[in-house]
A and B are shown apart, each in its own frame.
Chain A
Amino acid sequence: MSVPLIAVATGALDLQALTQEVTGQRPGDGAVATFIGLVRDHNQGRRVSFLDYEAYVPLAVRALHRIVDEIRQAWPDTRVGVHHRTGRIEIGEASIIIVAVSPHRANAFAACRYTIERVKQIVPIWKHEHFEGGEVWLEGATADPDDESARAAAYRIACA
């Protein structure tokens, strides 16, 4: 079954389907790098029960397309797919999957890492952490897609 390259939606993520979609029909490809982000049971000293993800879906999808465009510029031979799950996600379940495909491993790894770093910078999604004794909204980066220093930082990490 065909899946979109970019998705922000409820429901379990399917790495195999996304991998198939990203890798399809390109005999020149030689490397697939994947990333799966999982909900873990601890954070900043708290025992996490589950996470509830909220998204501004149309802008999140737009921001993910922007990241894909950035990757096309930085690594023209590399293609990525990203699915981010929303709603309640239990410990051990995947919240995000990323697939990067390239003729060679270096660009596949770099694009995969770049994608997750940029997701954390500019994609309007929020974790509502439910832990033993309470709940808290996690707040990370002030999203500014035009902040070139943030983009450069993500690129440096990706290529480290």
Chain B
Amino acid sequence: MNNIRKNRLKDQAFKIWGIFCTLLGLVLLAIFIGNILIDGILRIDWAFIVNLPSRHAEESGIYTALMGSIWVLLLTTLIALPVGIAAAIYLEEYSKKNKLSTILEVNISNLAGVPSIIYGLLGLEVFVRILEMGASVLAGSCTLALLILPIVIVSTREAIKAVPKSIRDASFAMGASKWQTVYHQLLPASFGGILTGIILALSRAVGETAPLIVIGALAYVPFAPSSPMDEFSVLPIQIFNWITRPQHGFVENAAAAIIILLLITFVMNGIAVYFRNKWQKKFK
């Protein structure tokens, strides 16, 4: 009898511990966001968004960094999207089970685990030096595109895989070729899933700092980029730069810029989750 009681007690104890652990991370995140809001929310005004960076904390703004982030995001999408989707289509619909497909598969899974800073070293040597792009928006975007490529491929494959086989069979029975089936049936049917994966990948790209520092993106640029070959800064690098300055005003700036960056990241994640839920219902 006693033993049963003891076991039940342990069971309850673990339940409480489990709830504690589950909430721990979330509570810490909440404390942190609260802290940031207290430090930075009063600093955010229109001038903070449209001002150029300055040596004086109160006059500094995030305009160049924000524009840099937008440029990089757009170019990264333009590069990673077609390549990633095409590679996923090949792996899911065309490739046969052979040595090449195994190598591709192992390779992509490995690439997904390569630290982002290594991509920075690759970008520094290949894009900045050998292809002579310099520390430009283009070089940064190419680097980030390679970084998110595995994520785009994996999520696109999942989305295509989820399309029922009956749709393929029906299309082939109507005399459609393989590409017609892919283009007219599979891609539209898996659109929501592909979109979810891409938004998540981009939300990762917008927060990346290390690889862009390595390729030589600057902490201080006087103007927003106006072409892909211009020098640039991005929001996370601007934040990093402000964090490493000792004067108090810059800490406030960093907190304010973090609020903006978190807003962008969370909105992107929210959109992705929304699309995922909507799309999952479609096949159920």
Query: Are both chains from one complex?
Result: no
